Structure 1
Amino acid sequence: MKIETSVTRLLGIDLPILQAGMSWASSNAALPLAVSRAGGLGVIAAGPMRLDALEEAIDTIRAGTDRPFAVNMPLYRKGAEDLLDLLEAKRIPILIASQGGPQKYLDRFRAVGTICLHVVASELHAVKAAEKGVDGLIVVGGEAGGHPPADLVSTLVLVRAVAKATEGRIPLVASGGFADGQGLASALALGAGAANFGTRFIATPEAGVVDGYKQAVIGAGVADTRTVGRGFGMIRTLSNDFAEEMAALERAAAPDDQRRETFAASTLKMAAFDGDMRRGKLEAGQSAGLVSRIMPAAEIVAEIARDYVVCVRSLPQPVPTNAPQPAL
């Protein structure tokens, strides 16, 4: 199956389905490889990776498929320049950059033929990135796991606002709150050319997180996440002891130092890699409430595409105004 949009044409993929770059969950070859093979875009999350591990993941994906894949690169991380040098040398097909300006990477990657997508969380940053010349934008709304926008504007509103602000001049990927084919249909209706699926792909055998993390995702409801750490790199996380403690400190307007210390004492690695479900940062989006089972990544891609087609075909069609009206 193919679903052609501005984003699939830009990236050379069959389906407008992107697997989000998620630290630990997709800091490997297995998950991105499965998604790219299935016709979507698999994304390596370079955030927590060493140089040798990142190079190995890139080489493994290239050995396993000739389909496009991407590397998500947080520009703020320690050693970012060394990783960017590696990605440039490897001539990766697609770079997804976040938490920094396009001027840090755009010219050098364009010169080696890499398509550059930039992650944004506001109309202002979207317009600026587009003006700098990036090839596409990933627009992250407040429902997203990990690091949602500080103002928590919903994906429904933000993607539409960015589409209007950029006037269709640049392909958009909607991110935050998507878990199924109905979500994909809504993303395309808003003016995006694809949807970014993060939390849904945590619940896969290929995701590089402990089983307890996956079970926490499929056991969560739509209201079982919260945002904590405002001012210190705010995250959306599943509720656990860490999140409850942070929320209590924030409600009490505890001193910055106390809140910062508590926030920094917990990490995503503690939950995703070490299996500490109580004190680790269980980053996940509100769409966790739409995820009920663990499935192979390729089956998820196929299911999203099938459900999208069913959804679009079932939408009400306009009735001509001169057509006979049914009797009441």
Structure 2
Amino acid sequence: MSLPTLLEQRLRLPVVAAPMFLVSNPQLVLACCQSGIVGSFPALNQRDSSGFNTWLEEIEAGLTPESAPYAVNLIVHGSNPRLQADLAICVEHRVPIVITSLGAVKEVVDAVHSYGGLVFHDVTTRRHAEKAAQAGVDGLIAVAAGAGGHAGTWSPFALIAEIRQFFDKTLLLAGCLNRGHEILAAQLLGADLAYLGTRFIATQENNATTAYKQMIVDAKAADIIHTPAVSGVPASFMRRSLELAGYDLDQLQNKAEVNYGEKLKPISDEAKAWKTVWSAGQGVGAIGDLPTVEALVARLDREYRAAHSQAQHLKNGWLR
């Protein structure tokens, strides 16, 4: 287990609320940080770099010395024309944690390291993880099968086991994590932090519409479809939202007809699509309410502590 100094003694729970495209906002970030977990948002959730800067100012004004650190997600990909401008703003604000996606680039890592910030990079395979490790990232986010957003297809057991063969820095696990005992399970598998996304869409403080949140509450694992049709790269979406947007579900579910070699679509096109086609992970079946972030984190904390106690009882029962 490896936590960077920046996070030691700063977290109530070993949890990062994932940056969710078009959903995460300053209200969600602040609610998370004030509750003792890392809050995050994608820079591209603001329409331009000036707006991104304004959001950072709003978040920083709302934090206290007792708050957990926050994180910003940058898309490190040719489809993102704002990368350099947004990176410069991150450096100016000394953003504590930068989460990079769709490209691990040493120059980006070096820029964040120049002021003492951390870089976590999300990966779905060993090859992606090795390339990110070579770029010098401080942490890897293992996005396993069943996760929302741009999810992978590897079992968390396989993905974490292979990453830990060559990476001893901070490791985060994403995919179907909704309860306190699941956070502990992620740690037992070898992760340092749990990375929760869908569970935080179904809270009161974010930009998701009421219909989006209710669809998550109503959905089950079988309602999640993993397809590149929306983004150009595979991602997880709710079946009902795909139907309402006019996608041919028979074609999407026939993997032989799906071109997984497509490239990421331009950010402007993706933003238009994700407004009506809603992402979620397979853990939706365990989500049945829309609490405040404060109430959710308090519940996760109780569940996490209870799981620790239960694990101790199991240990005492089996190991004699």
When normalised by structure 2's length, the TM-score is: 0.86
Aligned to 1:305: 301
Per the TM alignment, residue 269 of structure 1 is displaced from its structure 2 partner at its CA by 4.7
What root-mean-square deviation, in Å, do the aligned CA atoms of Structure 1 and Structure 2 show?
2.8
Number of aligned residue pairs: 303
Given the alignment of the two structures, is residue 83 of structure 1 paired with residue 86 of structure 2, yes or no?
yes
CA distance in 1, matches of 2:120, 2:316: 36
Aligned partners of 2:49 and 2:86 also within 8 Å: yes
Matched residue, 2:61: 63
Task: Tell me, yes or no, if structure 1 residue 225 matches structure 2 residue 227.
Answer: no
Could you tell me whether the CA contact under 8 Å between 2:17 and 2:39 is conserved in 1? yes
Match of 1:38 in 2: 35
Structure 2 counterpart of 1:118: 121
Residues in 2 aligned to 1:235 and 1:16: alpha-carbon distance in whole angstroms? 25
Could you tell me which residue of structure 2 aligns to residue 176 of structure 1? 175
AA in 2 matched with 1:82: A
* SS at structure 2 position matched to 1:86: helix
Displacement of 1:241 in angstroms is: 5.9
Q: Residue 314 of structure 1 aligns to a residue in which SS?
A: helix
Q: Deviations over 1:29-67 (max 9, x none)?
A: 000110011110000221332212211211111111133
Distance in structure 2 (CA, Å) of the matches to 1:137 and 1:225: 25
Alignment of 1:183-202 (within 5 A): 183-202=182-201
User: What is the deviation of 1:288?
Assistant: 1.2
Letter in 2 for 1:91: R
Contact 1:7/1:173 (CA < 8 Å) preserved in 2? no
**Counterpart code for 2:119:** C
Show the counterpart of 2:157. Answer: 156
**1:67-123 Cα shifts (integer Å, max 9, x gaps):** 311101111223211111111111111111111123140111111121111111112
- Matching of residues 1-328 of structure 1 within 5 Å: 6-7=2-3, 9-12=5-8, 13-14=10-11, 15-26=13-24, 28-49=25-46, 50-66=48-64, 67=67, 68-76=69-77, 77-149=80-152, 152-166=153-167, 169-229=168-228, 232-240=232-240, 242=242, 245-250=247-252, 251=254, 269=272, 272=275, 280-315=276-311, 316-319=314-317
Measure how far apart 1:146 and its partner are: 1.0
Whole-angstrom CA distance in 1 between matches of 2:291 and 2:241: 28
Instruction: Give the TM-score normalised by the residue count of structure 1.
Output: 0.84
Deviation at 1:159, TM superposition (A): 2.0
Amino acid at match of 2:202: A
| Gap change, CA 1:132 and 1:214, over 3 Å in 2 | same
Structure 1: gaps of 5 or more residues:
273-279, 324-328
* Cα distance in 2, alignment partners of residues 194 and 174 from structure 1: 7
Q: Give CA deviations for 1:4-31 in whole Å, capped at 9, x if unaligned.
A: x6337443431211000001111x2000
CA shift, 1:265, in A, is 11
Range moving further from structure 2, 100-109 or 186-195: 100-109
| Structure-2 change in CA distance of 1:295 and 1:228 (3 Å) | same
Q: CA 1:25/1:301 → structure 2, altered by over 3 Å: closer, same or farther?
A: same
C-alpha separation in 2, matches of 1:175 and 1:156: 12
Partner amino acid, structure 2, of 1:247: L
Whether the 8 Å CA contact 1:145–1:283 is kept in 2: the answer is: yes
In the alignment, the residues of structure 2 paired with residue 70 and residue 252 of structure 1 have an alpha-carbon distance, to the nearest angstrom, of 35
Structure 2: distance between partners of 1:161 and 1:320: 28
